[in-house]
A = this chain, B = another copy of it.
Amino acid sequence: MDGNKTIKVGLLGCGIVGTGLVNLFAQNKSSGIKLETIAVRDPKKPRNIDSIGDFEFTTDVTQVVGNKSIDIVVELMGGYDYAYQCIMQAIKNGKHVVTANKAVISEYGPEIFEEAKKYNVNVGFEGAVAGGIPIINPLLEQLSLGDIKSITGILNGTTNFILTRMSERIDYGSALRIAQEKGFAEADPSFDVKGLDAAQKIAILASLAFGRWIKPNEVYCEGITEITPIDVDYAKELGYVIKLLTTARKTKDGEIDIRVHPALISNTHRLARVNEELNAIYIQGSPFDEYFNVGKGAGQGPTAFSVYYDIVKIAEMIRSGIVRTINVNSTDVKIADQNKVSTEGYLRLYLRHVPGSLHSVVGVLANHGWNVKDSIQRGGPKYEIIVDGVKCLPDIITHEPLPFAVIKNTIPDLINLKTEKGNPIHGAPFYMRIER
């Protein structure tokens, strides 16, 4: 341990966030931290780097992960297995590691943290979730001193941008195109719009909060692709907005109820005004009551800044000999079965405009024990819609809390509903939860 030691940093990957990080190094020269080597596939690729420092580019990752003079390896390559291998090799070589790779952390967190413990090194990943919101370090530090009851958030900027456009009555397809034009959505947007990105992020946060590692495939997940302007309108009329919510909470039985899905939330809800590409995290617990933070979820500046903060923090820990171990190996905490979790919700059906259609539909709901709250169907040319050439009336139902299994069992009975005039429901019913 040496309190004045210059800490040397090696970087794997130099894309958008990496470039931002290099520029942060250039702006903070007096911090006793030095960028030494950057491993990239193509050193000659043009990069928007403010000032070329005295670091060097290499195409050989071992020049970083195996470089004796490097203290901290920063992984910004992205991807899964190769990035994971590089991180593990760096740790085995006694390097501290900083990464913004949520895919690797959510998939391999426990292995990485165990290896770090074994080799007495620190791992930082503030940039992996909600780039511009400080959440990983708070969860590892002050919030872990309290008792966390729930984490609710908007953790995917792409879908929040799309849903914000949709709240202006732009349909899903057009909103997605706008997001793609603005660089907020990928050419293949499925990872974001299906909720998989948000699932990785809430899995990481919940794992740290509850001390039990949760893999992304343990998170119940629905995407936003089936939402229509009709849903947006009725949500508004009923006093709600639609958000892709991520939720992790301890149930009464001590299980973890964890899920990602679009939901109707009250327009007075803390998260209702978090719009555009912003992210937000709302944590409830004791004795701190609540922790609510809004910020950019991604982007060069915010994410590079989080990575840089991790580097500064770990440099300080190196100088003072601190190793922060991360314990996520609790095995006595179960993931709640979503079928048993009760929820309120919103059902939208397209009803053929024939006598008895509403009656037969609410008959199915009554059979399954639904206690209907709102029931709205409006007739006349203003409200009729043509779906695949069939004239329909949208029918909206909301209900009192029901176990999710009941809802899942109801949907096939609606799809297979038979009356003398055929099925009065045209197309697939669409269901969305309502969250308080």
> A residues touching B (Cβ–Cβ < 8 Å)?
3, 20, 24, 28, 132-134, 137-138, 141-142, 145-146, 268, 270, 273, 286-296, 299-302, 304-306, 308-309, 312-313, 316, 320-322
Contacts and interface: CB of A to CB of B under 8 A. Distances in A.
B289 A292 contact: no
Contact of A305 (B287, B292, B301, B321): B287
A110 B142 CA distance: 26
A309 B145 CA distance: 8
Nearest to A273: B273
Nearest to A280: B292
Given A145-B28, A312-B145, A132 B290 contact: yes
Given A145-B309, A309-B142, A289 B296 contact: yes
A312 B142 CA distance: 9
A278 to B, nearest CB: 9
A299 to B, nearest CB: 7
B320 A294 contact: no
Contacts of A273: 268, 270, 273
21 contacts: A24-B287, A28-B145, A132-B289, A133-B291, A134-B142, A134-B291, A137-B142, A141-B309, A145-B308, A145-B312, A146-B305, A287-B304, A288-B301, A288-B305, A288-B306, A289-B295, A289-B299, A290-B294, A290-B295, A292-B295, A293-B294
A137 to B, nearest CB: 8
How many copies the complex holds: the figure is 2
B289 A302 contact: yes
Contacts of A299: 289
A301 B289 contact: yes
A293 B292 contact: yes
A373 B28 CA distance: 45
A311 to B, nearest CB: 10
A141 B242 CA distance: 36
A291 to B, nearest CB: 6
| 5 A-B pairs closest in CB distance | A287-B301, A320-B320, A142-B309, A292-B294, A288-B305
A299 B286 CA distance: 12
A142 to B, nearest CB: 4
Nearest to A310: B142
A302 B142 CA distance: 12
Contacts of A312: 142, 145
B20 A287 contact: yes
Contacts of A286: 301
A321 B4 CA distance: 13
A274 B321 CA distance: 42
A86 to B, nearest CB: 26
Contact of A288 (B132, B141, B287): B132
A188 B118 CA distance: 59
A269 to B, nearest CB: 10
Contacts of A300: 287
